[in-house]
């Protein structure tokens, strides 16, 4: 009986088959996204740590940098939030511009490449 019922839902079976076949590419896309976030986080974390080594005097920028780029997992989360709409990337970009213009431009380039 179950087989007869399933035959009636041919299009539903086809949809389930399509979802099943898309799981592997989805996992590889997530791995690629994680790797890109990890590498970018290492770059920005390095720049921010060098900035803090210079005895920062601007407390607002230092607080923003500490909040978004203070540790590796926080940096990865901030970058993911910036590309997914959970965080306004303008705030992070202006904070990184205070570190160095190159980090600000690299951040904008990262966001633009992830949005494509």
Residue-wise pLDDT tens digits, 21-41: 999 999 999 999 999 999 999
On whether residue 81 sits in a domain, the answer given is: yes
* pLDDT score recorded for residue 68: 94
Give the pTM: 0.82
Is 97 inside a domain boundary?
Answer: yes
**17 within some domain:** no
> Does 69 map to a domain?
yes
Assigned domain for 4 exists: no
Domain extent at residue 109? 35-115
Number of neighbours of residue 85 by Cβ within 10 angstroms: 8
- Predicted local confidence at residue 16, as pLDDT: 83
Q: Give the pLDDT confidence score for residue 60 in this predicted structure.
A: 86
> Which residues touch 37 (CB under 8 Å, ≥6 apart)?
76, 79, 80
**Is residue 10 a part of any domain in this protein?**
no
CA dihedral 50→56→62→68, nearest 10 degrees, is 0
Report the number of distinct structural domains present in the chain. Answer: 1
């Amino acid at each position: 009986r179950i087989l007869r019922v399933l035959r009636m839902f041919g299009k539903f079976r086809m949809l389930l088959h399509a979802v099943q076949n898309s799981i592997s590419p989805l996992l590889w896309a997530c791995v690629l996204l994680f790797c890109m976030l990890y590498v970018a986080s290492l770059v920005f974390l390095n720049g921010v740590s060098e900035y803090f080594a210079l005895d920062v005097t601007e407390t607002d920028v230092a607080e923003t940098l500490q909040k978004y780029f203070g540790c590796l997992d926080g940096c990865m989360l901030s970058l993911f939030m910036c590309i997914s709409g959970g965080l306004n990337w303008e705030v992070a970009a202006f904070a990184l511009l205070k570190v160095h213009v190159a980090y600000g431009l690299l951040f904008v380039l990262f966001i633009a490449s992830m949005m494509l």
